Amino acid sequence: MIDSADLAAFRDMLGAEGIATAPNERLPYETAARYGKGVAAAVLRPANTAQVSAVLSYCARRRLPYMPQSGNTGLVLGSTPDPSGTQLVVSLQRLRELRVDVFDRTVTVGAGVRLSALNAALEPHELHLPIDVSSDPMIGGMVATNTGGARFLRYGDMRRHVLSLEVVLADDEGTVLQLARGLRKDNTQLDLRDLFVGSCGALGAVTCATLEVHPRPKQVATALLVPRDTDSILDLMAGFENLAGDYLSAFEGMSGSALRHVFRYAPGLRNPFGAELPAYAILVELSSMRAAHRQGEPALQTTLEEITASIACQAAAPLADAVFGAPEQFWRIRHSLSDGLRSQGEVVGLDLSFRRTQVLPFRNSAIRMLHEEFPEYEVCDFGHIADGGLHFNLLCSSGTGRAAEVRKRVTQLAVEQFGASFSGEHGIGRANQADYSRYTPSQIKRFSAEVIKVFSTLPSAAIDFGQ
Amino acid sequence: MIDSADLAAFRDMLGAEGIATAPNERLPYETAARYGKGVAAAVLRPANTAQVSAVLSYCARRRLPYMPQSGNTGLVLGSTPDPSGTQLVVSLQRLRELRVDVFDRTVTVGAGVRLSALNAALEPHELHLPIDVSSDPMIGGMVATNTGGARFLRYGDMRRHVLSLEVVLADDEGTVLQLARGLRKDNTQLDLRDLFVGSCGALGAVTCATLEVHPRPKQVATALLVPRDTDSILDLMAGFENLAGDYLSAFEGMSGSALRHVFRYAPGLRNPFGAELPAYAILVELSSMRAAHRQGEPALQTTLEEITASIACQAAAPLADAVFGAPEQFWRIRHSLSDGLRSQGEVVGLDLSFRRTQVLPFRNSAIRMLHEEFPEYEVCDFGHIADGGLHFNLLCSSGTGRAAEVRKRVTQLAVEQFGASFSGEHGIGRANQADYSRYTPSQIKRFSAEVIKVFSTLPSAAIDFGQ
C-alpha cells in the first residue's frame, strides 16, 4: 500500500507539477471516457522519459500498483484506476515531443501528443496519420490499444504504422528500451516492438513512437447506400471492391435503429434519408491521393456516382437506393452514432470482430436469439463490414435491462459459434478481464505471463494476461 | 551429438520417406541458394504438424542442433546447416495445406507451399499475395525472414499479411501453439504472433499461416526513367508520389553499372536504352485494381505517360529521359540484376536499409570511400528507393577482392554513420551473426535471449539472438 513516504518520494522525484493528490485534480484521470469511474492513490505526471523511468522503477521496487495513462479516451478501462484507491495513475500527457521528417514520411511523437495535434502538425506537409476514430486519443494509448477505426480497410491499425518505440519497463532499474530504429525495412532483431503494441502497458509504458504517416487524400467522395436487404450487403461490398478498387477507403454499416436514435438525439444533424429511415445503410467513401480533374480524368465524385449507378443497374441489384452528399455531413452522422445511442437509455456495447463472411450470419443469429431471450434490448449496431468489425450495441430504452447477462450471452454466441474476437479494436483492459480469462487458451495465458515477466517485474494493473 | 539410435528413432517417427541421410538426398537441403554449402547430420521431413512436434520435442530433449527449412531460397544462411555435419535440417516442405477463403480474402497455407503455388491457387479468384521477390520461396521461410520485396511501398512485408500462425516449439513436449485467429481486427491477446515473424525459427518452427491476400491489379503500367543525375532521384520520387498517388506500386533504382552487367550476361534480354546506358535508371510501376477504359477514364498507361511528361516539363526537371514498355520486359531486367552480377565476378552483396532521406547520401559517401580504399570493387547497386532499401552490391571482376574486409567497412559506414539496418529484407541467419553481435545493444540481446527461452529450450542453430 502506498504511504505518505511514497508520496513524498514522488514529489521529490517529479516536483509539485508532477503529482496530483487532491480529489478535484485527480478527477479527470479517474473518470473513464464512457464507462466507469475509479479512485487513484495519486496521479503522477512525469515530464520526460527519465522521470517515467524513475517512477516505474520506484513502483516496481515498492510493488505499488500503477496504470500508465495518456489520453484516457479508451473504452475498456485500460487506463483508469479501479475504485480501491490503491492504484497510481502514471500519466504520460507531458511527453509531447513531436518531430516530423517530411521527406521520410515519418514522425517521432511522444505518448502525450493527441491524434488531432499530430494531424495538425502534419497538415502543412499534406500528410496525416490516417487512423479515424470518433474520439481524440493520445499516441501512447493508441499504441497500447492498437487502435483500428473506420479507415482500417485501407490503412490498417496502429501496429502497421509503428516503426519503432521507446518504452520504459517496470523493473528495478526502470529500464528504457529503444525497440527498432524507425526504418521501414529492418530485419535485424527479434521483434520485441510488436509485443508492446496492444499490450495495455502490461510489459511497460510506451513513451515515444516513430510512426509512418501518409499523404492526405486530395479527393474524397461519399455516398449513403441502402442495400436491397441485409442479405445483399456482402454482394454490395464485393461490387464496390471490384469497381472502386484502390479508391475504397471506408464501407461502414449503420443499422436503421442506430440512425433513428442519432437523428432524435441530435436534431441539428440533417437526415439525408427523408421521413422513412432504411433498415440498414452504408457509408461508402472513396478517396484518392491524386488531384481532381487531371487530363480528362473524371472527378472522384463522378466515379462514385458511376459505380453506384452501374451496381444499381445489375439484375437482382444489391442496391435499393443511394444518397450523395458531403463527406463531412455523412461522417458526422457516423461519428454521432455512439453518443446518440447513449442518450436514449442503457447501452450494452460489444466491440466484436469476425471473418468477413461471418459478420452477417452472426448478426441474424444474434437478433433472433435476443428477440427470444432478451426482448427488452433493441439491436442498434454499426460496423466496419469490410474488416469484419461489428459494434454490436444493445439499447434498453425503458427501465433496466440485464446488462451483464446479455453481454455474456452475446459474447458467447459470437466467440464460440462464429469465431469472433471479443475486442476487435478497443484494445484490452480491465473491462475485458472476464472475457480474456474465459476465452483465452490456458497455454497462451501461460506463455504471455512468462513473456511479461521477462520485461517488467510489476505489470500494469489494467489487465492480467496470466489469469 | 546425433547417433545411430537417434536416426533409428527418427525413422520410426517419420517413416522412410521422412528421413534422408544419403549424401545425394541431402544435397539440395545443404546447398544455400546463393552463398555457402553445409553438411547436415540428416534431413528430417515431417509430413504434418504432429510429426514436426515429435521431431522438435526429440531434438529439444536430446539437445540435437537443428534448423527449420522450407524453400531454402534465403540469402543469409538462415536455413542451411553449417559444415560441421552435426546439425539436423528439419524440412517443412511436406506441409502443403492450402485453403482459400475467397470472400474473406484470406488463405490458410502450410509452411511448405511455394509463393508461386499459392499465387497459382489464388489466380482463378483474381487474388494474390503481392510480395514480389526474384526467387520462389516457401511460406514458412517468408514468415521466418519477414520477406519484403519490390512492391513493399504499396503492400508492405510478410508481417503485414500474417493474421495468425501455427507454430511448434522445441521444448520437451513439442508444444503446438495457435497464435491469433485469422481475423483482421483482434486485440484480445498479447501479440506473441509477431515474435515469430522474422525470427529465423529461433522460437520455434512456423508450420502454418493464415494470410490476408489482395485483389490482383487489373491494370499495370511501367516506365524506365532516367533521372537528370543521382541527386535528382528524390525529387523524381516526390514528383511521382505526388502525381501518381495511390497508383504507385514500385520505384526501383538500378545503377548503370548493374544494368551493363545484366545486358552482357543475358544477351537475350532486350536493352531498351540503346548503346549508351544511363548512369542510373528507375523502374516505375503504376497499378490499379480498377479495370481500364471505364467511362472516359484514361488507361493507366496514358496516365503514366502524362505524369512523366508533366514532370519532364518542369523547370530544372529531375527527369532526363523515359522509356515506356511492357511490365514483363522491364521486370525481367530488374529480376535478372542479381544473377547478372554474379556471372561477372565475385560479388559482395549488402542488403541495407535506411530512412528514405539517407539512401543517396550514404551511396555518395560509400562510393567515395570505396574509390579510395577498395578500388578493386565496382559499385553495382540497385534498390527500393521509396522504402529506403538498397542492395549495395560490390563487384570484383578481376582477381580476388577483400570480401570480408569491404563488407565490414561498408556495413560500418552504413550503420554507424547513416543509421542503416544491415539486413533490410533478407531476414537474419548465420551470415548475419557477426553484424548482429556487433551492432545490437547488449540490452536487446539479453531481453531477446530471455524471450526465446520462454518458448523453446533449444533454439534453432541458425542464429543466436543472445550473442
B455 touches chain A (CB under 8 A): yes
Topology agreement, domain B217-330 and domain B345-427: yes
Kindly state the cell numbers that stand for B324.
Answer: 515506356
CATH class for the domain made up of A98-215: alpha beta
B-chain CB neighbours of A443 within 8 Å are 175, 177
Give B 406-425 residues with CB within 8 A of chain A.
Answer: 419-425
pLDDT cut 90: percent of chain A above it? 92
- Got the DSSP string for B428-452? --GGGHHHHHHHS-HHHHHHHHHHH
Q: How many CA within 13 A on the CB side of residue B254?
A: 33
A175 touches chain B (CB under 8 A): yes
User: The domain B217-330: what is its CATH number?
Assistant: 3.30.70.2190
Which residue of A189, A198, A289 is in closest CB contact with B191?
A198
Instruction: Note the pLDDT tens digit of each residue in A299-314.
Output: 999 999 999 999 999 9
Kindly state the cell numbers that stand for B44.
Answer: 528430417
Nearest residue to B157 (alpha-carbon basis) of A163, A398, A204: A163
Predicted local confidence at residue B294, as pLDDT: 62
Taken as a whole, chain A contains a residue count of 467
**Mutation site for A-interface testing, chosen from B189, B352, B436 by largest number of A Cβ within 10 Å:** B189
**Mutation site for A-interface testing, chosen from B187, B194, B288, B453 by largest number of A Cβ within 10 Å:** B187
| pLDDT of A78 higher than 90 | yes
A388 touches chain B (CB under 8 A): yes
CA angle (B189, B191, B195) in 5-degree steps: 150
| pLDDT of A296 higher than 70 | no
Nearest residue to B2 (alpha-carbon basis) of B30, B31, B42: B42
B190 touches chain A (CB under 8 A): yes
Min Cα distance A279 → chain B (Å) is: 24
Euclidean distance between CA atoms B427 and B116, whole angstroms: 20
Predicted TM-score (pTM) of the model is 0.96
Predicted local confidence at residue B399, as pLDDT: 76
Euclidean distance between CA atoms B239 and B225, whole angstroms: 12
Low-confidence winner among A329-343, A367-381, B53-67, B287-301 (lowest mean pLDDT) = B287-301
Predicted local confidence at residue B400, as pLDDT: 81
Instruction: Note the pLDDT tens digit of each residue in A130-166.
Output: 999 989 999 999 999 999 989 999 999 999 999 999 9
Euclidean distance between CA atoms A167 and A207, whole angstroms: 5
Its CATH architecture, for the domain A217-333, is: 2-Layer Sandwich (3.30)
B-chain CB neighbours of A236 within 8 Å are none
Euclidean distance between CA atoms A307 and A270, whole angstroms: 25
Which CATH fold would you assign to the domain A345-427?
Alpha-Beta Plaits (3.30.70)
User: The domain A4-91: what is its CATH number?
Assistant: 3.30.43.10
Domain ranges of chain B: 4-91, 98-215, 217-330, 345-427
Give B312's contacts (C-beta < 8 A, 6+ positions apart): B319, B322
Predicted local confidence at residue A55, as pLDDT: 98
Report yes or no: B220 and B328 within 8 Å, Cβ to Cβ.
Answer: no
Euclidean distance between CA atoms B68 and A250, whole angstroms: 41
| pLDDT of A293 higher than 90 | no
Give B 105-144 residues with CB within 8 A of chain A.
Answer: 105-106
pLDDT of chain B, 467 residues: tens digit per residue: 899 999 999 999 999 999 999 999 999 999 988 878 999 999 999 999 999 999 999 999 999 999 999 999 999 999 999 999 999 999 999 999 999 999 999 999 999 999 999 999 999 999 999 999 989 999 999 999 999 989 999 999 999 999 999 999 999 999 999 999 999 999 999 999 999 999 999 999 999 999 999 999 999 999 999 999 999 999 999 999 999 988 999 999 999 999 999 999 888 899 999 889 999 999 999 999 988 766 667 799 999 999 999 999 998 999 999 999 999 999 999 999 999 999 999 999 999 999 999 999 999 999 999 999 999 999 999 999 999 999 999 999 887 889 999 999 999 999 999 999 999 999 999 999 999 999 999 999 999 999 999 999 999 999 999 99
| pLDDT of A297 higher than 80 | no
Instruction: Note the pLDDT tens digit of each residue in A89-123.
Output: 999 999 999 999 999 999 999 999 999 999 999 99
Predicted local confidence at residue A294, as pLDDT: 62
Arithmetic mean of pLDDT, A351-380 = 97
Taken as a whole, chain B contains a residue count of 467
Which residue of B101, B175, B192 is in closest CB contact with A355?
B101
Which residue of B157, B186, B387 is in closest CB contact with A424?
B186
Euclidean distance between CA atoms A104 and B145, whole angstroms: 24
